[in-house]
C-alpha cells in the first residue's frame, strides 16, 4: 500500500501542491515578523490566481501573467495597508473584508469579463515553463521532486533561504523584526515602523500573488471560482505555528504538501473523497494544537521564574 | 459632526463610483440595474421579493447575533459557518428519522440543531482553555471539517439517491415550518425575532450578559473580580453556537426542507452575519437593521442578475467595501488582544 502511494509522480505532486502554500506562508511570515496581523492571505492568493489567468489569457504570455498576478496581490495588499496602516482599521476586520472582496471580485470579473461561471479555460492561457535540472533529474525519487518543476518552485526555495538570512542579517530584515517586536525602539532609532510594515505588506502581496500564479497558471492552467479553497488559511496556521521562521516554515509546508498529496492518492483505495479532502485541515489543526499546547505548558512551568 | 457627515458622504460617493464601474464592466445599463436592484430587494408581485429579503434577513441576523454574543465576550468566533452547517445537518438528520411531526417534532428538530452546533462551538472553547489554541484560528479551522462531514453525510449515508444530487431526502411535510397565511414566507423569522429580543434582554439586563461583556472588555479585570472566566467563555461559546445551529435548523425546516451540500456555505450567511455585527460595532439592538440591510443588498443583487445581467457577486464586493470603510472609522470595535491570541 505504501509503495503505491510513494512513487515518483507522488513526489512531483507534493512539490506542486506545496508551492502556493509556501509562497503565501512566506508572505505571511514577513507580515508576522513585522507585527502586522495579516489573515487575508486567502484573499491575496485568490486575487493572484485570478489575475494570473487574466493576464495570461490576454497577453498569451506566462511571464506577463505572473506579473499581473503579482500586481493583483499587491493591489489587495495596498487596500490592506490603506485601511489598516493609514487608517486605524482593526487588522482582523480588514482581513475579513479583503477576503470577501477578493472572493466577490474574482467571481464577479470572471462572469463579467469572460461570461462564464464556475470554471474558465482558454487556449490563450500559457503555463509557467518547467525546468529540468540535468543531473538531479536522474536521481530516482528526489529527481521528480526537485526537477521538472515550474520556475516558481525554484524561486520560492531560493526565497526561503534568502528570507532566513534576510531576517537575521539584512538591515531591512532587522528593522522588520524590530517593527514586530519593539515598535518604540525602532521609532526611537529614527525609522518609521509604519513604513516598514507597509513594505512588509507589499512583499506579502507580491509573494501571495506568485503563489496564486502557481495555483492557476502552473498547476492547472485554468481558473475555478474560490480557487484558493482554504490554502491561505493553512498558510496562516503555518505562520502562527512556526512564528514566522523561514526554515521551520519550509519543513511544515512540505509536511502539509505530503499529507495533501497522500490524500489524493488514498482516494484510490475507496476512502470517501470528503475524508481525504479533510486531511490537510485536520493535519493543520493537529499541528496547531501540538505547538499551542507546548507553549501553554512552557508558560505554566516557567511562571514562577518569570514572575520573580 | 459635520466632519463625520462629510466623510460619510465621501465614502458613499466612492462606493457609488465603484458600483457604477463594476456595472459598466459587466456591460449593463446603470439605471436599469439600479431599478432591478430595488425591485429585487423590496418589490415583486405581491411583494414576493421583499418576503425573500425578510427570510434571508432572518438567517443573516441570526448569524449576526451568534457572532455578536461571542465577540462581546472577547471570543473571536469566526467559525459560525461550521456551526451553522453542523446545526443544519443535525436537524436534517433528526427530522428525517423522527417518527412524529407537528409542533413537538419541530421543537425537537430545532433543539437538535442547537445542541449539535453548541457542542461544535464548545470544541473550539475546549481547545482554547486546555490546549491554548487561539479561538480565532480554532473556530476557523473547525469550519472545514464541518463542511466535509456534512458533505460526506449527504453524499453517502443520508443521500437521496433518486434525486441525483448530494442531498438528503425531503423532510415530512408535517415538520415544515408553517407559512404565514396568504404568503410564501415561513415563520422562521419570528423565531429569530424572538431570539433577538431574548439576546437584547440578556445583553442589557442580566448578570450573565454583563459578566460576559466584562470578560470581553478585560479578562484580567474579570478574573481579579472573581468571575469564573473559563466557565463564562465556554457558556458564551455554546450559546453562540446554539444560535448558529438554530439558524441552520430554520433554513432546513423553513426554506429548503432538506439538507443539500453547500446550501448553507455558498450564500455566505455566516460571513455576512459577522460583517453585519462588526458594521454596527457590536451594538446589540443595531444588529437587526444591519442584518436586513445586508439581506437587501444580496436580494437586490440577485434581482440585478435576473433582469440586468449583472453578476450577483457584486453584493459581496459592496459588502466588503462597506465593512472596510466602517472599520477605518471605528477602530475599537473590540479588544485588540482577542485575535492575536494573547
pLDDT for residue A75: 95
List, in order, residues 6 or more apart from B230 with CB less than 8 Å away. Answer: B129
- Listed by start position, the domains of chain B span 34-333
What's the pLDDT score for residue A135?
74
Kindly state the average pLDDT of the residues B308-336. Answer: 78
DSSP assigned state of A7: S
> What angle (nearest 5°) sits at the alpha carbon of residue B167, between those of residues B161 and B169?
70
Please report the residues numbered 35 through 64 in chain B whose beta carbons come closer than 8 angstroms to any beta carbon of chain A: none
Put simply, whether A296 touches B (Cβ < 8 Å) is: yes
B178 pLDDT more than 90: no
- Dump pLDDT digits (tens) for B19-50: 888 888 888 888 888 899 898 888 878 888 89
Nearby residues of A301 by Cβ (< 8 Å), 6 or more positions away: none
Q: Is B75 left (phi over 0), alpha (psi -120 to 50) or beta?
A: beta
To 10 degrees, the CA torsion angle through A107, B144, A77, A35? 170
| Mutation for testing the A interface, residue in B144, B276, B339 having most A CBs under 10 Å | B144
Return the CATH class of domain B34-333.
mainly alpha
A135-170 pLDDT, tens digit per residue, is 777 777 777 777 778 888 898 999 999 999 998 899
Kindly provide the b/e burial profile for residues A19-36, where b requires at least 16 CB atoms within 10 angstroms of the residue's own CB.
bbbbbbbbbbbbbbbbbb
Model confidence band, residue B235 (pLDDT cutoffs 50, 70, 90): very high
Q: Which candidate from A37, A83, A285 shows the least CB-CB separation from B324?
A: A83
Judged by average pLDDT, the poorest of A23-37, A68-82, B12-26, B240-254 is B12-26
Quick: pLDDT tens for B47-105: 888 999 999 999 999 999 999 999 999 898 999 999 999 999 999 999 999 888 888 99
H-helix or E-strand spanning residue B316: helix B314-329
Of the pLDDT bands very low, low, confident and very high (cuts 50, 70, 90), residue A182 is: confident
B138 near A CB under 8 A: yes
% of chain A with per-residue pLDDT over 90: 40
Q: Which of A253, A254, A255, A275 is nearest to A266 (CA)?
A: A275
Q: Do B152 and A112 touch (CB under 8 A)?
A: no
- What gap in Å lies between CA A140 and CA A153, rounded to an integer? 19
| Mean pLDDT of chain A, nearest integer | 87
* C-alpha–C-alpha distance, residues A280 and A231, integer Å: 9
CA–CA separation, A259 and A203 (whole Å): 28
State how far the alpha carbon of B197 is from the alpha carbons of A87, B192, B250, in Å: 35, 9, 17
pLDDT of amino acid B1: 61
Domains annotated on chain A, with CATH: 2-307 (1.10.3470)
Query: Do B117 and B186 meet the contact criterion of CB atoms below 8 Å apart?
Result: no
Q: Which of residues 180-239 of A touch B (CB under 8 A)?
A: 230, 233, 236-237
First to last CA, chain A: 55
- Please write the tens of the pLDDT for every residue from B251-309: 999 988 899 888 888 889 999 999 999 888 888 999 999 999 999 999 999 998 888 88
- pLDDT category of residue B338 using cuts at 50, 70 and 90: very low
Interface test with A, best of B272, B282, B326, B327 (most A CBs within 10 A): B327
3-class DSSP state for residue B103?
helix
Q: Terminal CA-to-CA distance of chain B, rounded, Å?
A: 36
Q: CA of A286 to nearest chain B CA: how many angstroms apart?
A: 10
Cα–Cα distances (Å) from B321 to A95, A104, B237, in that order, read: 12, 11, 29
CB A157 within 8 Å of CB A164: no
ipTM above 0.95, yes or no: no
Written as one string, the DSSP assignment of A241-270 is HHTT-HHHHHHHHHHHHHHHHHHHHHGGGT
> Does residue B342 carry a pLDDT above 70?
no
Given a cut of 60, is residue B341 above it in pLDDT?
Answer: no
Single pTM value for the model = 0.89
* Short-list B183, B234, B186, B185, CA closest to B208: B234
Task: Pick the range with the lowest mean pLDDT from A253-267, A294-308, B321-335.
Answer: B321-335
**Per-residue confidence band for A306, with pLDDT thresholds at 50, 70 and 90:** low
For an interface test with A, the pick among B133, B157, B158, B278 (most A C-beta atoms closer than 10 Å) comes out as: B133
pLDDT of residue B207: 92
Taking Cα atoms as reference points, which of A265, A252, A228, A250 lies closest to residue A156? A250
Amino acid at each position: 500500500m505504501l509503495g503505491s502511494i510513494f512513487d515518483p509522480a507522488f513526489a512531483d505532486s507534493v512539490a506542486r501542491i506545496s508551492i502556493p502554500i509556501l509562497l503565501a506562508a512566506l508572505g505571511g511570515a514577513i507580515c508576522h515578523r513585522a507585527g502586522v496581523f495579516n489573515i487575508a492571505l486567502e484573499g491575496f492568493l485568490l486575487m493572484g490566481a485570478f489575475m494570473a489567468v487574466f493576464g495570461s489569457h490576454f497577453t498569451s504570455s506566462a511571464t506577463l501573467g505572473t506579473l499581473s498576478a503579482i500586481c493583483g496581490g499587491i493591489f489587495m495588499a495596498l487596500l490592506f495597508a490603506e485601511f489598516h496602516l493609514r487608517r486605524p482599521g482593526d487588522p482582523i476586520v480588514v482581513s475579513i473584508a479583503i477576503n470577501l472582496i477578493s472572493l466577490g471580485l474574482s467571481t464577479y470579473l470572471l462572469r463579467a469579463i469572460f461570461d462564464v461561471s464556475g470554471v474558465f479555460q482558454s487556449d490563450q492561457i500559457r503555463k509557467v515553463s518547467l525546468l529540468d535540472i540535468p543531473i538531479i533529474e536522474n536521481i530516482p525519487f528526489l529527481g521528480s521532486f526537485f526537477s521538472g518543476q515550474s520556475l516558481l518552485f525554484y524561486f520560492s526555495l531560493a526565497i526561503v533561504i534568502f528570507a532566513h538570512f534576510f531576517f537575521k542579517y539584512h538591515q531591512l530584515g532587522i528593522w522588520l523584526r524590530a517593527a514586530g517586536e519593539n515598535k518604540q525602539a525602532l521609532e526611537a532609532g529614527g525609522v518609521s515602523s509604519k513604513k516598514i510594515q507597509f513594505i512588509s505588506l507589499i512583499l506579502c502581496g507580491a509573494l501571495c500573488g506568485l503563489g496564486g500564479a502557481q495555483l492557476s497558471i502552473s498547476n492547472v492552467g485554468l481558473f475555478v471560482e474560490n480557487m484558493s479553497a482554504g490554502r491561505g488559511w493553512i498558510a496562516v496556521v503555518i505562520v502562527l505555528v512556526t512564528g514566522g521562521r523561514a526554515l521551520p516554515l519550509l519543513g511544515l509546508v512540505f509536511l502539509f504538501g505530503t499529507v495533501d498529496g497522500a490524500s489524493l492518492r488514498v482516494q484510490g483505495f475507496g476512502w470517501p473523497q470528503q475524508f481525504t479532502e479533510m486531511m490537510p485541515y485536520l493535519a493543520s489543526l493537529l499541528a496547531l494544537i501540538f505547538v499551542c499546547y507546548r507553549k501553554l505548558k512552557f508558560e505554566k512551568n516557567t511562571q514562577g521564574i518569570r514572575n520573580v | 459632526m459635520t466632519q463625520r457627515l462629510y466623510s460619510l458622504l465621501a465614502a458613499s460617493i466612492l462606493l457609488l463610483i465603484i458600483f457604477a464601474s463594476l456595472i459598466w464592466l459587466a456591460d449593463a445599463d446603470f439605471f436599469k440595474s439600479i431599478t432591478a436592484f430595488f425591485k429585487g430587494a423590496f418589490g415583486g408581485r405581491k411583494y414576493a421579493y421583499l418576503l425573500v429579503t425578510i427570510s434571508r434577513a432572518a438567517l443573516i441576523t441570526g448569524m449576526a447575533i451568534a457572532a455578536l454574543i461571542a465577540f462581546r465576550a472577547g471570543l473571536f468566533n469566526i467559525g459560525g459557518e461550521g456551526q451553522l452547517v453542523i446545526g443544519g445537518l443535525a436537524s436534517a438528520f433528526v427530522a428525517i428519522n423522527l417518527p412524529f411531526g407537528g409542533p413537538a417534532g419541530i421543537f425537537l428538530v430545532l433543539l437538535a440543531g442547537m445542541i449539535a452546533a453548541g457542542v461544535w462551538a464548545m470544541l473550539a472553547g475546549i481547545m482554547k482553555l486546555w490546549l491554548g489554541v487561539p479561538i480565532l484560528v480554532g473556530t476557523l479551522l473547525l469550519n472545514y471539517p464541518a463542511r466535509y462531514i456534512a458533505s460526506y453525510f449527504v453524499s453517502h449515508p443520508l443521500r437521496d439517491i433518486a434525486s441525483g444530487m448530494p442531498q438528503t431526502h425531503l423532510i415530512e411535510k408535517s415538520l415544515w415550518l408553517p407559512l404565514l397565511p396568504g404568503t410564501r414566507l415561513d415563520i422562521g423569522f419570528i423565531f429569530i425575532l424572538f431570539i433577538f429580543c431574548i439576546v437584547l434582554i440578556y445583553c442589557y439586563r442580566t448578570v450573565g450578559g454583563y459578566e460576559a461583556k466584562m470578560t470581553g472588555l478585560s479578562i484580567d479585570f474579570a478574573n481579579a473580580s472573581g468571575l469564573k472566566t473559563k466557565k463564562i467563555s465556554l457558556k458564551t461559546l455554546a450559546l453562540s453556537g446554539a444560535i448558529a445551529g438554530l439558524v441552520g435548523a430554520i433554513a432546513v425546516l423553513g426554506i429548503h426542507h432538506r439538507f443539500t451540500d453547500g446550501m448553507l456555505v455558498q450564500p455566505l450567511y455566516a460571513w455576512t452575519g459577522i460583517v453585519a455585527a462588526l458594521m454596527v460595532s457590536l451594538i446589540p439592538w443595531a444588529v437587526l437593521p444591519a442584518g436586513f440591510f445586508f439581506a437587501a443588498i444580496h436580494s437586490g443583487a440577485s434581482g440585478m442578475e435576473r433582469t440586468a445581467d449583472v453578476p450577483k457577486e457584486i453584493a459581496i464586493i459592496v459588502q466588503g467595501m462597506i465593512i472596510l470603510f466602517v472599520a477605518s472609522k471605528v477602530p475599537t470595535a473590540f479588544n485588540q488582544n482577542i485575535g492575536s491570541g494573547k
